[in-house]
Chain A
Amino acid sequence: MHPRAARVAPLAIWLAAVAACLWILLARTSVTADLTAFLPRAATPAQELLMGQLRDGVASRLVLIALEGADAPALAASSRTLARRLRDSGAFGYVANGESTAARKDRDVLFAHRYVLSPAVTPERFTEQGLRAALERTLERLASPLGPLARSTLAADPTGETTAALARHLERHPPRLREGVWFDAAGGRALLAAETRTPGYDLDAQAAALAAIESAFTAARAGPQVRIVTSGPPVFAVAARAAIEADAWRLAALAGGGVALILLLAYRRVALVGFGVLPVATGMLAGISAVSLGFDIVHGITLGFGATLIGEAADYSTYLLASRARSETLAATAQRVWPTLRLAVLTTVFGSLAMLASSFAGLAQLGLLLFVGALAAGLVTRHVLPALAPQRWAADAPPGCLSPARSPPPRTSPDAQRRSCRSRSPLPSRSSACGTRRSGRTTSPP
């Protein structure tokens, strides 16, 4: 091939691939933080229900709110206004603070689903005997202080299922009412419960809902002394994520800084550090794009673990750069170390196949990301980095302390290759990597 074409072709392919990946990333990749992708696939309806509830159940969407710091009338007024604002905001499917308007809505729900919710509904209930007993019970209710309720539902609910469902509902002891709204037992806090419309795993939406509660409260409170306390799974989830994010950023910055520092000490050139990042960055990009194409949505955790696993590809460029001898072009180095590098890439790629076959959606995504990512990083190291390297590097001394390069290595002899690998590996990781491969080869008879 013409040397110029040999230089341009990989670059053109690489740039086109990166552009395509970027397009996929921006146009069709959606990331979800749903943790349940890493739980086993549900096998029974009960498990399916549990998974659904974990992911998006009422419990995962319920925000508990307490108002405190003022006297009961002020708290009750704040509770009413806050509840109204939250209901009007449309972000909440259900806002309860004990007000009777809301209680009527609850009763309407009980009424609408009376045959499902009533504990009295059994097949026997609708036999002649069962119906007679039920109707007699209804007659007794008409004679009791519950009469007005029994009468108002009589035509639509002659067997009294609404009352039966209501009785069971009431046994769960709702909070005490003061000034017409829920208060805690001590009477110092007005209580509300709000159920977000957005799913429990959508933490951005949950954070937005919590912010909406805060702002509604600021507008609704009866005085500056009224304080708000929120709790519940959405609050925990958002707070936990914030803590994890802060930790992750701090640790990533520390680790990234440490790696950059070591590479900088080794290469003694900022440009080379940036150069070395290209394979792994390309690999990550390609991996995410592949997952995005292969699955509907990309899990946030896949990205997290994927970035960790594919970090191994950061070493590919280090093999290449560290193996370069004085006056050697990077292309020559790449050609020389390719068998070793190829082995490293292929072990990773085949290792990822096991994950790819997993029935856990999250693990399968990880496998695909690693498969495509390691392959892309390897190819970029082999073909793109040499093509990108400025020609003048050939004339330069090999970078940094990694390459004392006592003598230019012969390019053909594998024996010399092994020697050079041993001789210019002052870094522990490099020397161990070389060491394993060397020992692998030396076991074969000469």
Chain B
Amino acid sequence: MGGARGRRAPLSGGAAAALCLALLAAPGAPRAAAAFDLERLMRELAAREAATVRFEETRHSDALREPLVATGELRYRRPARLERRMLTPRAERYTIDGGAVTIERDGNERTFALDGLPVLRVFVESIRATLAGDLAALRRHYQVLFAGQREAWTIALLPADAALAEYVTSVRISGSGDRIERMETLETSGDRVVTRFVPVSPPAPGPAPASATGRSG
């Protein structure tokens, strides 16, 4: 990852699009498997009621001496609830439900309207809409590109609205089947944020005990 930390100029939209297309083409997946396309992927994602994954997020930035790593758990519940529980470097929980966001930290809980913090939409509109299989929502904010097949797919998102484009150059989400495995966000600052997702104990019907204790604490 060392190479990625080299000083980079923020990518222009056009350059980013070209880059994404190149990346998408890279796996060499022939479009032959026409049976599996973006709509199909979204339908499969939409079929899941809930998803819980562990995440490990690494920010590569020329402002940091070493990459910044955050770990925690990401929980999604249909239709619009997304919970990001960070464990390291510090316990902190963001719960986004519909248009409200609750930030819990040091035992304090504060709820805001999502509208007031447009920057959060970078996070929400990419990962939540993908987990929800909500293609319409994705397309409201991004130009959506797709490549791959069921076993290995990639969605590239290029921001289509100014509020997102202020922060993000591109987002690339890849996965397998109805599982999201990796997300890479290229920010306008030049930072690259790579998140890996690992599923937690298969089908979790209710809140996991670990998170239940975390919630009460």
- Interface residue ranges, A against B (CB under 8 Å): 98, 100-101, 103-104, 139-140, 142-149, 151-152, 154-155, 166-167, 169-171, 173-174, 176-177
Question: Could you list some 7 contacts between A and B, CB below 8 A?
Answer: A140-B90, A140-B92, A142-B68, A143-B57, A148-B189, A166-B117, A170-B116
A104 to B168 Cα, complex, angstroms: 16
A169 to B115 Cα, complex, angstroms: 13
Q: Does A103 lie within 8 Å of B118, measured CB to CB?
A: yes
A65 to B90 Cα, complex, angstroms: 44
A residues in contact with B63, CB < 8 Å: 151, 154-155
Q: Does B122 lie within 8 Å of A143, measured CB to CB?
A: no
Q: Does B115 lie within 8 Å of A176, measured CB to CB?
A: yes
A171 to B188 Cα, complex, angstroms: 28
For the complex formed, measure the closest distance between the CB of B24 and the CB atoms of chain A, giving whole angstroms: 23
Q: Does A139 lie within 8 Å of B89, measured CB to CB?
A: yes
For the complex formed, measure the closest distance between the CB of B90 and the CB atoms of chain A, giving whole angstroms: 5
B94 within 8 A of A: yes
A139 to B59 Cα, complex, angstroms: 11
A residues in contact with B178, CB < 8 Å: none
Which residue of B59, B112, B113, B163 is within 8 Å of A142 (Cβ)?
Answer: B59
A176 to B166 Cα, complex, angstroms: 23
Q: Does A147 lie within 8 Å of B59, measured CB to CB?
A: yes
B162 within 8 A of A: yes
Given A145-B120, A151-B63, do A170 and B112 touch, yes or no (CB 8 Å)?
A: yes
Q: Does B122 lie within 8 Å of A148, measured CB to CB?
A: yes
Total residue contacts A-B, CB cutoff 8 A? 84
A152 to B122 Cα, complex, angstroms: 13
Given A148-B189, A151-B61, do A143 and B120 touch, yes or no (CB 8 Å)?
A: no
Given contacts A142-B68, A143-B57, A143-B90, 13 further A-B contacts (CB under 8 A): A100-B162, A101-B162, A139-B68, A145-B84, A146-B119, A147-B59, A147-B193, A148-B187, A152-B187, A152-B188, A174-B113, A176-B99, A177-B113
Q: Does A151 lie within 8 Å of B120, measured CB to CB?
A: no
In the A-B complex, the 8 residue pairs with the smallest Cβ-Cβ separation, listed nearest first, are A143-B70, A148-B167, A149-B119, A145-B123, A177-B115, A170-B116, A170-B112, A151-B189
Q: Does A100 lie within 8 Å of B110, measured CB to CB?
A: no
Q: Does B191 lie within 8 Å of A151, measured CB to CB?
A: yes
For the complex formed, measure the closest distance between the CB of B151 and the CB atoms of chain A, giving whole angstroms: 30
- Interface residue ranges, B against A (CB under 8 Å): 57, 59, 61, 63-64, 68-70, 84, 86, 89-90, 92, 94, 99, 110, 112-113, 115-120, 122-124, 162-163, 166-168, 187-189, 191, 193
A residues in contact with B167, CB < 8 Å: 148-149, 152
B residues in contact with A140, CB < 8 Å: 89-90, 92
Q: Does A174 lie within 8 Å of B89, measured CB to CB?
A: no
Considering the complex, give the chain B residue whose CB is closest to the CB of A143.
B70
Q: Does B188 lie within 8 Å of A100, measured CB to CB?
A: no
Which residue of A148, A169, A171, A177 is within 8 Å of B168 (Cβ)?
Answer: A148
A118 to B92 Cα, complex, angstroms: 21
A171 to B162 Cα, complex, angstroms: 25
Most chain A CB within 10 A, of B89, B118, B119, is at B119
B residues in contact with A100, CB < 8 Å: 118, 162-163
For the complex formed, measure the closest distance between the CB of B169 and the CB atoms of chain A, giving whole angstroms: 11
A residues in contact with B162, CB < 8 Å: 100-101
A388 to B94 Cα, complex, angstroms: 89
B residues in contact with A143, CB < 8 Å: 57, 59, 68-70, 86, 89-90
For the complex formed, measure the closest distance between the CB of B126 and the CB atoms of chain A, giving whole angstroms: 11
A149 to B189 Cα, complex, angstroms: 10
For the complex formed, measure the closest distance between the CB of A168 and the CB atoms of chain B, giving whole angstroms: 10
B residues in contact with A139, CB < 8 Å: 68, 89
Q: Does B187 lie within 8 Å of A174, measured CB to CB?
A: no
B residues in contact with A144, CB < 8 Å: 70, 86, 92, 94
Q: Does A170 lie within 8 Å of B117, measured CB to CB?
A: yes
B residues in contact with A98, CB < 8 Å: 115
For the complex formed, measure the closest distance between the CB of B193 and the CB atoms of chain A, giving whole angstroms: 7
For the complex formed, measure the closest distance between the CB of A104 and the CB atoms of chain B, giving whole angstroms: 8
Q: Does B115 lie within 8 Å of A174, measured CB to CB?
A: yes
A171 to B111 Cα, complex, angstroms: 8
A171 to B103 Cα, complex, angstroms: 12
A residues in contact with B193, CB < 8 Å: 147
A101 to B162 Cα, complex, angstroms: 9
A148 to B57 Cα, complex, angstroms: 13
B residues in contact with A149, CB < 8 Å: 117, 119, 167
Q: Does B94 lie within 8 Å of A145, measured CB to CB?
A: yes
For the complex formed, measure the closest distance between the CB of B83 and the CB atoms of chain A, giving whole angstroms: 11
B residues in contact with A173, CB < 8 Å: 113
Given A140-B92, A142-B59, A145-B84, do A152 and B113 touch, yes or no (CB 8 Å)?
A: no
B residues in contact with A166, CB < 8 Å: 117
Q: Does B119 lie within 8 Å of A176, measured CB to CB?
A: no
Most chain A CB within 10 A, of B61, B86, B116, is at B116
A139 to B12 Cα, complex, angstroms: 27
A177 to B115 Cα, complex, angstroms: 7
B residues in contact with A154, CB < 8 Å: 63, 189
For the complex formed, measure the closest distance between the CB of B5 and the CB atoms of chain A, giving whole angstroms: 14
Most chain B CB within 10 A, of A100, A103, A144, A149, is at A144
A142 to B69 Cα, complex, angstroms: 10
B residues in contact with A103, CB < 8 Å: 116, 118
Most chain B CB within 10 A, of A149, A151, A167, A169, is at A151
A residues in contact with B119, CB < 8 Å: 145-146, 148-149
B residues in contact with A146, CB < 8 Å: 117, 119-120
Considering the complex, give the chain A residue whose CB is closest to the CB of B191.
A151
A151 to B120 Cα, complex, angstroms: 13
Considering the complex, give the chain A residue whose CB is closest to the CB of B112.
A170
A85 to B187 Cα, complex, angstroms: 34
A169 to B86 Cα, complex, angstroms: 25
A residues in contact with B69, CB < 8 Å: 143
Considering the complex, give the chain B residue whose CB is closest to the CB of A182.
B115
Considering the complex, give the chain B residue whose CB is closest to the CB of A169.
B116
